[in-house]
Structure 1
Amino acid sequence: MNELNAPVTRRRLLDAGPHQALVDDYARYLAATGLSHVSVRIHRGSALHFLAWSVQSGIALDHAGQDIVARFAAHDCQCHSSPRSLGQYYINRVDGFVRYLAARGTLPPQPVAEAPAVDHNVADWLDAQARQRGLATVTIARHSRMLAQILPLIGSDPSRYTPRIIRDGLIEHARTARSVHYPKMVASALRLYLRHLAQRGVAAPGLDRAVPTAKTWRLASLPRYLEPDAVERLIASCDPETPGGRRDRAILLLLARLGLRARDVAELRLADIDWRAGNIAVCGKGRREVRLPLPQDAGDALIAWLSGARPAASGDTVFSRLLPPFDPISSGVVGGVVRRAVGRAGIENAPSRGSHLLRHSAAIAMLRGGATLDAIATVLRHRSTDTTAHYAKVDVSMLGDVAQGWPTDGPACPVAPPLFGLVWPEGAPC
Structure 2
Amino acid sequence: MRYLIEEKGLRQRSIYQYQIFLRQFAAYLERIRVDNLAKLSPTVLSGFIAEYAPPRVSWSTVRNACGVLRVFLRYLNREGVMAKDLSSLVEFPQSYRHAGVPRSISWEQVEQVLAGIDRRSASGKRDYAMMLLLATYGLRAAEVASLTLDDIDWRNERLKIRERKAGNTTTYPLSAAVGAAIVEYLKNGRPATTCREVFMRCCAPHAPIGSAAVVCRAAHFIRKAGIRVPRAGSHVLRHSCVQRLLNANFSLKHIGDYVGHRSASSTQIYGKIAVEQLREVAFGNGEDVL
TM-score (norm 1): 0.54
- In structure 1, what is the equivalent of residue 16 of structure 2? 138
Which of 207, 219, 238 is the matching residue for 2:98? Answer: 219
Matching of residue 342 in structure 1 with residue 222 in structure 2: yes
* Aligned-pair CA distance for 1:319: 0.8
- In structure 2, what is the equivalent of residue 290 of structure 1? 169
Matches within 5 A, 1:305-320: 305-320=185-200
Distance 1:351 1:210, change over 3 A: closer
3-state secondary structure, aligned to 2:130: helix
- In structure 2, what is the equivalent of residue 384 of structure 1? 263
- In structure 1, what is the equivalent of residue 136 of structure 2? 257
Instruction: State the AA in 2 paired with 1:361.
Output: S
**Structure 1 portions without partners, runs of 5+:** 1-121, 158-164, 406-430
CA–CA separation in structure 2 for the residues paired with 1:312 and 1:125: 36
**Structure 2 portions without partners, runs of 5+:** 285-290
Distance 1:215 1:233, change over 3 A: same
3-state secondary structure, aligned to 1:378: helix
CA–CA separation in structure 2 for the residues paired with 1:392 and 1:362: 14
CA–CA separation in structure 2 for the residues paired with 1:371 and 1:216: 29
* Aligned-pair CA distance for 1:258: 0.9
3-state secondary structure, aligned to 2:161: strand
Matches within 5 A, 1:196-275: 211-275=90-154
CA contact (8 A) 1:125 1:196 kept: no
CA contact (8 A) 1:335 1:354 kept: yes
Distance 1:247 1:318, change over 3 A: same
Structure number with higher relative contact order (C-alpha < 8 Å, ≥ 6 residues apart): 2
CA–CA separation in structure 1 for the residues paired with 2:105 and 2:241: 9
Distance 1:364 1:166, change over 3 A: farther
CA–CA separation in structure 1 for the residues paired with 2:35 and 2:63: 16
Distance 1:145 1:226, change over 3 A: same
CA contact (8 A) 1:166 1:211 kept: no
Distance 1:273 1:168, change over 3 A: same
- In structure 2, what is the equivalent of residue 102 of structure 1? none
CA contact (8 A) 1:250 1:305 kept: yes
CA contact (8 A) 1:167 1:210 kept: yes
Q: Which has the larger radius of gyration?
A: 1
Matching of residue 170 in structure 1 with residue 48 in structure 2: no
Aligned length: 273
CA–CA separation in structure 2 for the residues paired with 1:242 and 1:341: 15
- In structure 2, what is the equivalent of residue 302 of structure 1? 182
Q: What percent identity do the matched residue pairs reach?
A: 29
* Aligned-pair CA distance for 1:225: 1.5
* Aligned-pair CA distance for 1:368: 1.4
CA contact (8 A) 2:4 2:15 kept: no
Matches within 5 A, 1:53-92: none
* Aligned-pair CA distance for 1:224: 1.2
Distance 1:279 1:196, change over 3 A: farther
- In structure 2, what is the equivalent of residue 420 of structure 1? none
CA–CA separation in structure 2 for the residues paired with 1:199 and 1:282: 37
3-state secondary structure, aligned to 1:280: strand
- In structure 2, what is the equivalent of residue 161 of structure 1? none
Greater displacement, 356-365 / 227-236: 227-236
3-state secondary structure, aligned to 2:13: coil
- In structure 2, what is the equivalent of residue 279 of structure 1? 159
Distance 1:215 1:350, change over 3 A: closer
CA–CA separation in structure 1 for the residues paired with 2:76 and 2:231: 38
- In structure 1, what is the equivalent of residue 287 of structure 2? none
Give CA deviations for 1:255-284 in whole Å, capped at 9, x if unaligned: 001111112112211122222341222323
3-state secondary structure, aligned to 1:383: coil
